[in-house]
Structure 1
Amino acid sequence: MPVHDHHEHHGHDLTQAAQATLEKSGEQWTAMRERVFEALAGFDKPASAYDIAEAVSKAEGRRVAANSVYRILDLFVGSNLARRVESANAYVANAHPDCLHDCIFLVCDSCGQTTHLDDDTITKNVRSAAKTAGFSPVRPVIEVRGKCADCD
Structure 2
Amino acid sequence: MANEVETKLTKALFDELQSERFVTIATIDHETGGPNVSAISWLLAKDEQTILIAVDSRSRIIENIKENNKAAISLIANESTFSIQGSAAVKEEKLSGIPLKMSLVEMKIEEVRDVMFYGSKIVTEPGYDKTYDKEAASRLDRQIMEAMRKA
TM-score, length-scaled by structure 1: 0.28
The structure with more helix, counted as a fraction of residues: 1
Structure with bigger gyration radius = 1
The structure with more strand, counted as a fraction of residues: 2
